[in-house]
Amino acid sequence: MAKLNTLIRIVAVVAILIVSTTSLSYSQATLIIQTGPTSHASYDASGKYIVAIGDSKAHTWDAESGQLVAEILLTGANDLLDATPFGSDGNVLIVERKGAPIDSVRCWNWKANKIIWAIPGHYAAGSTSGNTVVVLGVDDTLWTVDATTGNRLNKLAGYVKKSNDMTLRVSENGAYVVWGGLDSSIFRIMDLRSRQIIRTDRLDQGGSDVRSVRFSTDETNVLYGFARPFAMNIVSGDTTVKLPDLGRVYDLDITADHKYMATISIWRDIVRWDAATGTLIDTIGKTTGLGTTCVFSPDGKHILTSAIDGSITVWPVPTISAVETAPRATAGGVSLTAYPDPARDQLVVHYSMSTAGSVRLALLNSLGDVVLSIEHATEEAGEHQEVLDTRGLASGVYLLRVQAGGRQTARTVRVQH
């Protein structure tokens, strides 16, 4: 009888697998190695090229092949802070912090391989559209400058020097600029059309500081890279999404369609999240050194990372149409879905229950043995999520079962290492 029950379980698993499995496609990452620490990397507006700064040089790489396209030596720079592509003409803002006697901001056109202009400045940021450049001058005043000539245009009132380390970011189309000190916790957002500060926020999470700030492409939200990253509505200040505690986040980004966020933390994991709910989707990979950059390509199909060990990596993002249409098993007011499928290191389980009650999630192998389980004495009715650690499981097909409020349902999932 025991053998018969085992055979029935195996047949059931295979049968469900045939009608309900979906898959995520993970491809090999492209690794570009620099000879020294990389402080910043980013895509150009087209997404075809990567600009990186490190080893006393600024580089441009072909994003698909990883071949070096152009480079420029940053003579005398001993602390390279940033390289920010802006516009579609190949212009890049390069910030050189020389210490003494003066810091500088250069505009390098890598297509023509020449410096277009150079001015004194501590920090600089440009809009992707190429119409707005903001520079913090060596006199500690904040200015918009002409993107073509580097000439000062308008002084931006409200900047108060708090430290020698700050973050500066201009929104996609140049409507807003945000700045703040990494150690002061004060961040200000200015509407560049009216040159009025519309938000001043003290952002402090138990001593954690902001390591990255980005705008959503529709210029409605600003993303702050705390230990617990979150997105804030620029005008109202309402938190639109909040991620769990990740230790320390060095960079984060959001796709152009605002569906997904990506983070890189002190643990070096590159993690993708649902930008509307803050739900974990998957771990894309892990950098070989502490990460300095984590950005989506303009089409959202790749994530670019850089690290202090000099590695620059382009990670293909798994197609998630399968995730969004993942089969949902439903029975008696209980529904269940899970992704990614196949899972590698973790399986995100979503379940809903129409009535409150006890819950037991179980993952069974093909022999019917429970290999992972989570139990709750009581849960409220509604949607819930759990993350199962699948790193210790053998590759294969498993049955995922949820028993909630006296009802149960199940579906198959795959683990593939």
Q: What are phi and psi of 389, to 5 degrees?
A: -85, 110
- Please tell me the predicted confidence (pLDDT) of residue 323: 40
By CB neighbour count within 10 A (0-12 exposed, 13-18 middle, 19+ buried), where does 254 fall? buried
The average pLDDT across 310-339 equals 69
Whether residue 327 is preceded by a cis peptide bond, meaning omega within 30 degrees of 0, is: no
Chain mean pLDDT for the chain: 81
Which of these, 314, 342, 356, 325, lies nearest to 400 by C-alpha position?
Answer: 342
Most confident of 6-20, 27-41, 284-298, 342-356: 284-298
* DSSP symbol at 220: S
DSSP for 64-131 reads TT--EEEEEE-TT-SEEEEEEE-SSSSEEEEEEE--SS--EEEEEETTTTEEEEEEE-SEEEE-TTSS
Overall pTM surpassing 0.75 (yes/no):
no
Q: Which residues of 26-63 are buried (b: 16+ CB within 10 A; e: fewer)?
A: beeebebebeebbbbbbbbbebebbbbbbbebbbbbeb
pLDDT tens, position by position, 19-70: 222 223 334 678 787 767 788 899 988 899 999 887 778 889 998 888 899 9
**CA separation for the pair 224, 152 (Å, rounded):** 29
Please report how many Cα atoms fall inside a 13 Å half-sphere around the Cα of residue 149, on the Cβ side.
4
- 42-46, 206-210, 223-227, 381-385, range with the lowest pLDDT: 206-210
The answer, yes or no, to whether residue 73 has pLDDT greater than 60, is yes
Residue with tokens 């960079």: 251
Integer Rg of the chain from CA: 24
CA angle at 357 for the pair 242 and 348, rounded to the nearest 5° = 40
Tell me how crowded residue 335 is: count the other CB atoms within 10 A of its CB.
19
- Please tell me the predicted confidence (pLDDT) of residue 199: 93
**CA separation for the pair 287, 191 (Å, rounded):** 36
**CA separation for the pair 175, 49 (Å, rounded):** 25
The edge-to-edge listing of strands for the beta sheet with 166-170 is: 166-170, 176-181, 186-191, 196-202
- Please tell me the predicted confidence (pLDDT) of residue 256: 92
Most confident of 28-32, 151-155, 334-338, 365-369: 151-155
- Please tell me the predicted confidence (pLDDT) of residue 404: 85
Give 263's pLDDT tier (boundaries 50, 70, 90): very high
pLDDT tens, position by position, 158-193: 887 766 567 899 998 999 999 987 666 788 999 999
Answer whether 280's CB lies under 8 Å from 271's CB: yes
Tell me how crowded residue 391 is: count the other CB atoms within 10 A of its CB.
10
Q: Which two three-digit tokens encode residue 133?
A: 């450049």
The answer, yes or no, to whether residue 16 has pLDDT greater than 50, is no
If phi > 0 it is left, if psi is from -120 to 50 it is alpha, else beta; for residue 237 that is left
Tell me how crowded residue 79 is: count the other CB atoms within 10 A of its CB.
11
- Please tell me the predicted confidence (pLDDT) of residue 171: 94
Query: pLDDT exceeding 90 applies to what percent of the chain?
Result: 33
- Please tell me the predicted confidence (pLDDT) of residue 86: 83
Beta-bridge partners for 374: 361
Answer whether 334's CB lies under 8 Å from 352's CB: yes
- Please tell me the predicted confidence (pLDDT) of residue 340: 76
The answer, yes or no, to whether residue 216 has pLDDT greater than 90, is yes
